[in-house]
Chain A
Amino acid sequence: MKNFDEQTLARRITYLLKWGIALSSLTTLLGGLLFLIHHGQTKVLYKIFNGEPAFLTEVRYTFKQAIRGNSVALIQLGAVILMATPIARVLLCLLTFAKDRDWTYFLICTLTAILLICSFAGVFISL
């Protein structure tokens, strides 16, 4: 039999993922509607890779622009929320293992969390 803790953790994770998806979908949808209203007629050009401007590659700038109602930044914020959901899931596991004093798995989750957060913060780009 599985222990009780695991079931509780699974329930919490499910809850977290539901919220992550809902929040991300709503933000993306809102940004998408605004985008299509303003730029629906512009031509699509993605054949050549040009990267993206700074306000779409730095979380804090994306957030600032999204709050101001910039449609593209709103969509990007939705993507950021989606990417942040697995990170939140790892942090949730990390806290659960700390509470249970399961230090092996606490360390394992900490390692994964560090990798994810550093990737998100752009640490690996300058290496």
Chain B
Amino acid sequence: MDHLSFSAILFVSSLFAGLFGALSGLGGGIVIVPLLVLGFNVNTQYAIGASLIGVIATSSGSSITFLPKRYANMRLGMFLETATASGAILGAYFASVAAENLLQILFGIVLLYSVFAARKSQKNTEEVDMSHDRLSDKLKLDSSYPVDGSWQQYRVHRIPLGWLLMFIAGNLSGMLGIGSGALKVLAMERAMKVPFRVSTTTSNFMIGVTAAASAGTLFHLGYISPPVVMPLIPGVLIGSYAGSKILMRAKLSYLQLIFSIMISLIGIQMIYQGVT
């Protein structure tokens, strides 16, 4: 294949990757790596580098849409970024020493788990635990978010556990070139008892910093290859933007289920590729 057709096909594919990522709630990155590895026969290392760039683009792009809506808890995000950034740098180190097929298998497992976690989160009802947490008071993490025109108060709990889970999320992000959105939401919603809406938007807010932390190191190691990255940036940006617009308009539970199944199949294919 020559570069012209490579770029054209990759651009269209990353449009769909962004769309898939947004509609399934898993983010663009989780589709980009398998797309490059399985679909374009690109080495896992280059795929991880390119995907991280796509992840940063998606995070920045979607933050523009939702930050003015004031769901995200920026203080919480900034505090937890110390965890995800340090985890991501360690993850980038793991990525540089681990064998390619080990990364593929791990990717498949994380992908399957993310689909499972994202589907579980969607079913959760929003209940608020208003008991005080000493550390949360100290860090001024308690906040409020808009629900049907009024402000709903909430408190943040179990900060050390949340921090630790975020460190792991960052680690996987740096190692596999994904945003780790599903794990971040899980850490905030389940461990720290933050409302779902706040968790997803805060997670997205943090993903840019998380991915940049490992991308910086991988950039030096030559993981970021311009011809692979080039068609991906506009593709993912446009795709995820379109996806988030569609999400706002309609309830897509059936479509989301189909996407989740398709992404699970990709996960299984990744594991198979790693094993053989």
B93 touches A (CB below 8 Å):
yes
A7–B85 CA distance with the chains assembled, in angstroms: 25
- List A contacts of B224 (CB < 8 A): 52, 56, 76, 79
- Judged by a CB distance under 8 angstroms, whether B260 is at the interface is no
- Interface residues of B: mostly helix, strand, loop or mixed? helix
Stretch from B18-26, B71-79, B110-118 that touches the partner: B71-79
Point out the residue from A75, A119, A124 that lies within 8 Å of B230, measured CB to CB.
Answer: A75
User: Within 8 Å CB of A48, what residues of B?
Assistant: 43
| Partner-B contacts on A (CB < 8 A) | 1-2, 6-7, 9-11, 13-14, 17-18, 20-21, 24-25, 28-29, 31-32, 35-36, 39-44, 46-53, 56-58, 72-73, 75-76, 78-80, 82-87, 89-90, 93, 104-105, 108-109, 111-112, 115-116, 119-122, 124-125
Question: Which B positions have Cβ atoms within 8 angstroms of A?
Answer: 1-4, 6-7, 40-46, 53, 56-57, 59-61, 63-64, 67-68, 70, 74-75, 78-79, 81-82, 85-86, 89, 92-93, 138-140, 143-144, 151, 208-209, 211-217, 219-231, 233-234, 237
A36 vs B4: C-alpha distance in the bound complex, in angstroms? 6
Q: Of the candidates A39, A47, A52, A115, which one forms a contact with B222 in the assembled complex, judged by CB atoms under 8 Å apart?
A: A52
> Is B67 in contact with A36, judged by CB distance below 8 angstroms?
no
With contacts A108-B82, A119-B216 taken as known, whether A9 is within 8 angstroms of B74 at the C-beta atoms is: yes
Q: Is the CB of A87 within 8 A of B1?
A: no
Contact A46 B228, beta carbon cutoff 8 Å: yes
Across the interface, name the chain A residue whose C-beta is closest to B233.
A28
Contact assessment for A105 and B78 in the assembled complex, using a CB-CB cutoff below 8 Å: yes
Count CB-based A-B contacts (< 8 Å): 207
* Apart from A31-B230, A46-B43: 11 A-B pairs, beta carbons within 8 A: A2-B144, A14-B63, A17-B60, A20-B60, A35-B226, A46-B46, A46-B225, A52-B224, A115-B213, A119-B89, A119-B216
A39's nearest neighbour on chain B, judged by CB, is B3
Complex contact A46–B41 (CB within 8 A): yes
Once the chains are docked, how many angstroms separate the CA of A41 from the CA of B179?
A: 33
Q: A40: which B residues are within 8 A, CB to CB?
A: 2-4
Q: Find out whether the CB atom of A79 lies under 8 angstroms from the CB atom of B226.
A: yes
**In whole angstroms, what is the CA distance A112 to B44 when docked?**
28
- Tell me whether A44 and B233 are in contact in the complex, defined as CB-CB below 8 angstroms, given that A56-B222, A104-B139 are known contacts: no
Residues from chain B with a CB closer than 8 A to the CB of A78 are 229-230, 233
- B1: min CB distance to chain A, Å: 5
Q: B70–A10 contact, CB under 8 A?
A: yes
With A35-B230, A52-B222 in contact, do A83 and B81 touch (Cβ < 8 Å)? no
| Residues of A close to B3: CB separation below 8 A | 35-36, 39-44
Residues of A within 8 A of B44 (CB): 49
Quote the shortest CB–CB distance from B10 to chain A (angstroms).
10
A125–B217 CB distance below 8 A: yes
The docked-state distance in angstroms from the alpha carbon of A57 to that of B140 is: 40
Whether B4 and A41, one on each chain, are in contact in the complex, defined by CB atoms closer than 8 angstroms, is yes
Decide if A83 touches B216 in the complex (CB within 8 Å): yes
Question: In the bound complex, how far is the Cα of B171 from the Cα of A55, in angstroms?
Answer: 28
The 3 A-B residue pairs with the shortest CB-CB distance in the complex, in nearest-first order: A51-B222, A119-B216, A52-B222
CB pair B209 A28 closer than 8 Å: no
For A47, what are the chain B residues with a Cβ–Cβ distance below 8 Å? 41-43
Interchain CB contact under 8 A, A82 and B60:
yes
Return the contact of B225 from the options A28, A52, A112 (Cβ within 8 A). Answer: A52
Rounded to whole Å, the gap between the CB of B154 and the closest CB of chain A is 12
B86 neighbours in A (Cβ, 8 Å): 115
Residues of A within 8 A of B1 (CB): 43-44
User: Could you tell me the distance between the alpha carbons of A96 and B234 in the complex, rounded to whole angstroms?
Assistant: 31
